[in-house]
Structure 1
């Protein structure tokens, strides 16, 4: 039987030094040059397999699965080198060497995303529509109208990340080893297991609201290098408001039932400005609302609660009774004329 091809001793020593993290910049360039050399392809393959077999269990929750399944994927791609540029083999060798060299958690999982990709699942709700979604970890999410939710088909590693645009109420399955993150642009909400409401529609001048029902929640922002900066922590029946324009944060106490009444189909307003009400009604009923004079000059606020299933016509009639507005409605277009104390 033919002996496996071995790397020259000098190259082996150089790779061992690289794995120990002791290479100079020039030596690192030499390593990359050797990995890109077709003449060393078979010998590098033998070296990779030997080193892969030595991977510690800390590299993966299931070392045998990692070595057998994911390395075999690399090998299968290497096995069709005649139809694939040699750069893929160089990349595969780089993956193994970087793993062995103690690459960071994020790098390892970015690599796995390449050789073992996970599908992203996205749900959206139309105006007036609400939806209940079950996440891969058993957590449950209720999506409000005109919202978008994205998450992986399975949570990999020791964190759980999902992405929201709009409003949703979360009941997060407890797992102290896997923090749960809800991302809205660079703003995040971090929990271990709790229930809370996030309101974050995609308008730069509209604040992000996070309200806690049970447990404890941390909120913060991430910079361009994905460094997290925690801003504050919340306990039940407390709410935080994050101003996306001014990058400021403030909080208050509030009954969570008031915030999440939308889950029961109810519309609840507490000292809501007319612009706030207009945005909610547009999303809820899928209409376009114009205010005259322009809303920048409107100063009035409203406190009201409407039962599930109420029509837009009935809502507008109730608002008109206050004497603060009048309205006309034609199809999906509404014009609100402010009156009296609302100007």
Structure 2
């Protein structure tokens, strides 16, 4: 049963927007819960009809608070509407239709018995420990400019950086705990020696038992990085499963995406870019912010955008995801300029001005497009 689809159909029915086909679909999805069916709609509709239509500020605050509580439990109610998470709340403008959907959701929040109904709606039959279906997989996405925290079924915490995606089984009832990552995430994994935890990315697999670490695996980055804060992890190359790296605390493994995908063309790539890649991978110590006990690799989980001796091209990608902008280099020489810095409360304009004075480039801002020259 797709509970996300149920919530969408519920709101469309109460707002009078549901088609006859959608109403039939909703009845079919709720048929296993016949004892709840009529009660759910009666109570939700009652609260909905009694709610003043003009009180939308209260609705807004209540809905967002509910969304945060659900997110902390590892639950995201997906719809075709704009995604709302904590860092994006202040600047998000809502359409009238989206407000009406949230007002319906608000009605459901205050029905106490809905907790039990929600449990039944999300419960799924088990077909064996190692059997997975599409409906059993949960997907969490964060758009640019947004970061969020997820609670996995085993109690492990995951911080998902901007422009990232995480897929995982809703139950973790198999012999291993597996997640699939595109982008960047910081993991605090609950220890379980009998059920290893594996992170799959496009280039590497990371295996742990219980630890704290950061994985950066954006498809459009030049490198895939694994940074270990506490415990131990094993990193396996997908194109060479026999190759394994063992990391100790405060170590970082950097692998070139170019060498992992196109080893035969590596020399040509190096000559064109001017950057040397180590096809065997490089293990280094973690970098720390000046006068701080915060490592650069996981500082983003504390809402600090930081970089230490990185090329402007790499910093630009971080800024694009952080501020939801696009940076274009008209003068290509600035792409190879190395820089360090950290920004916590600075907006995009303040960050660019600070980098401009320490580096010497000029820029032009046109909406969300920044041109460096």
TM-score by length of 2: 0.57
Which position in structure 1 is the counterpart of 2:363?
327
Pairwise CA distance, 1:109: 5.7
Cα distance in 1 for residues equivalent to 2:251 and 2:356? 32
Find the aligned partners of 2:352 and 2:207 in 1 and give their Cα distance: 38
- How many matched pairs? 224
SS at match of 2:300: helix
The answer to whether 1:136 aligns with 2:153 is yes
2:176·2:196 contact (CA, 8 Å) conserved in 1?
yes
Asked whether the equivalents of residues 118 and 152 of structure 1 are also in contact (C-alpha less than 8 Å), the reply is no
Q: Any gaps of 5 or more consecutive residues in structure 1?
A: 1-68, 74-107, 338-343
Q: Is the 8 A contact 2:167 2:181 kept in 1?
A: yes
Map of 1:252 onto structure 2: 284
Q: CA deviation at 1:156?
A: 3.0
Structure 1 residues 112-191: aligned runs within 5 Å: 112-113=131-132, 119-191=136-208
1:246 counterpart SS class: helix
What are the superposed Cα offsets for residues 105-135 of structure 1, whole Å, 9 maximum, x if unpaired? Answer: xxx866x346xx7610010111111110011
Equivalent position of 2:244 in the other structure? 231
Is the Cα contact below 8 Å between 2:204 and 2:238 reproduced in 1?
yes
The 2-side partners of 1:228 and 1:298 are apart by: 34
Aligned to 1:16: none
Pick the structure with greater CA Rg: 1
Runs of 4+ in 1 over 4 A off after TM superposition: none
Summarize the alignment of residues 49-64 of structure 1 with structure 2, pairs less than 5 Å apart: none
Partner residue of 1:200 out of 217, 232, 253: 217
CA distance change for structure 1 residues 169 and 251 in 2, over 3 Å: closer, same or farther?
Answer: same
Secondary structure (helix, strand or coil) at the match of 2:194 reads: coil
In structure 1, distance between residues paired with 2:370 and 2:143: 19
Aligned pair partner of 1:314 in 335, 344, 350: 350
Within the alignment, does 1:220 sit opposite 2:236 as a pair? yes
Shift of 1:171: 0.3
Name the SS of the counterpart of 1:260 in structure 2.
helix
Q: Distance in 2 between matches of 1:186 and 1:302?
A: 27
More displaced stretch, 315-324 vs 235-244: 315-324
**Whole-Å separation in 1 of the counterparts to 2:364 and 2:351:** 13
1:128–1:286 Cα contact (<8 Å) kept: yes
Is the 2:224–2:257 Cα contact (8 Å) retained in structure 1?
Answer: yes
Any idea what the Cα deviations from partners look like across 1:36-94, whole Å, max 9, x if unmatched? xxxxxxxxxxxxxxxxxxxxxxxxxxxxxxxxx87xx8xxxxxxxxxxxxxxxxxxxxx
Q: Is contact 2:339-2:359 (8 Å) kept?
A: no
Distance 1:234 1:138 in 2: 23
What residue number does 1:302 align with?
339
Give, in whole Å, the separation in 2 of the partners of 1:277 and 1:212.
21
TM-score normalised over the length of structure 1 = 0.61
The secondary structure found in structure 2 opposite 1:145 is coil
Deviation at 1:229? Answer: 2.9
In structure 2, runs of 5+ residues without a counterpart are 1-124, 261-278, 288-293
The Cα of 1:276 is off from its aligned counterpart by: 0.5
**Matches of 2:353 and 2:244, distance apart in 1:** 42
- In the aligned structure 2, how far is the partner of 1:222 from the partner of 1:298? 30
- The CA deviation at 1:217 is 0.6
| CA RMSD across the alignment | 2.1
Give the 3-state SS of the residue equivalent to 1:277 in structure 2: helix
Q: Which residue of 2 aligns with 1:66?
A: none
CA contact (8 A) 1:118 1:153 kept: no
Contact 1:169–1:198 (8 Å) recurs in 2: yes
| CA shift for structure 1 position 245 | 1.5
Q: CA deviation at 1:271?
A: 0.6
Q: Give the counterpart of 2:226 among 194, 210, 219.
A: 210
